Amino acid sequence: MRKMFLAIILILLSFPAVFAQEEKMSAGFGLEFNMNSRHNFAAGAALNFEYRLNYHAALGIILSASNNFFGITVLEPTAFIRGYIWENCHGLLFFQVDFGPFFILEEGDVIVLPELGLRAGFRKPLGKSYYIEPFGRLGYPFAFGVGVVTGKRF
C-alpha cells in the first residue's frame, strides 16, 4: 500500500514539468487548520499544482497531510476542478470541487474513504508571478478547513 501511494505521488509530481512550457501553470504551498479528525482539530500542510484550461477554468491536484497531534494522520491526494468567477483589480474569486481518496492513519490501521469537498477562496496577485490565496472548504468525510496558500505562476 505504501509503495503504491509513493508511486502515485511521484507520477503526479511529474505533471508540472509537462505543463510549465505553456505558462498556464501554478504551484503553491499552503497551511490549513481543519477538522479532519474525529478527535480534536488538526493542522495540515499541502502542495498544490494547477493547470489553467482557459481564463475561467482550471484543473489540478492537491497533496495534503493533516495531524491532530493525538495519533491521527490524514492524507488527501485529491484532484480538483476550479472555476474563477469574478475578477477585480485586487484578484480572483474562485469556487472549486475537490475529489479523491481520504486516507486515515490511526493506531497502525489505514482507513480509506472517498472525499468530496467544496472550496472557495480569493487569489491575490503579489507582483507578476506570485500569489497568496486564502480559502475555506467543506466536505465529506472532513467537516471543514480554512487556510492560506502561497505560490508561483509559470
Does residue 21 carry a pLDDT above 50? no
Instruction: List, in order, residues 6 or more apart from 11 with CB less than 8 Å away.
Output: none
Which pLDDT value is given to residue 66? 95
Q: Which domain holds residue 65?
A: 30-153
Q: Which residues pair with 13 in a beta bridge?
A: none
Which pLDDT value is given to residue 14? 53
Does residue 3 carry a pLDDT above 80? no
Classify residue 11: in a domain, yes or no: no
Mean pLDDT of the chain: 87
Residue range 25-78, pLDDT digits in tens: 999 999 999 998 777 899 999 999 999 998 889 999 999 999 998 889 999 999
Question: How many CB atoms within 10 Å of residue 62?
Answer: 23
Classify residue 132: in a domain, yes or no: yes
Classify residue 7: in a domain, yes or no: no
- Give backbone dihedrals phi and psi of 13, rounded to 5 degrees, phi first: -70, -20
List the CATH number of the domain containing 39.
Answer: 2.40.160.20
Task: Give the chain's domain count.
Answer: 1
Does residue 91 carry a pLDDT above 90? no
Q: Which three cell numbers stand for residue 23?
A: 505558462
Is pTM beyond 0.85? Reply is no
What three-state secondary structure class fits 129? coil
Classify residue 22: in a domain, yes or no: no
Classify residue 18: in a domain, yes or no: no
pLDDT above 70 as % of the chain: 84
Classify residue 3: in a domain, yes or no: no
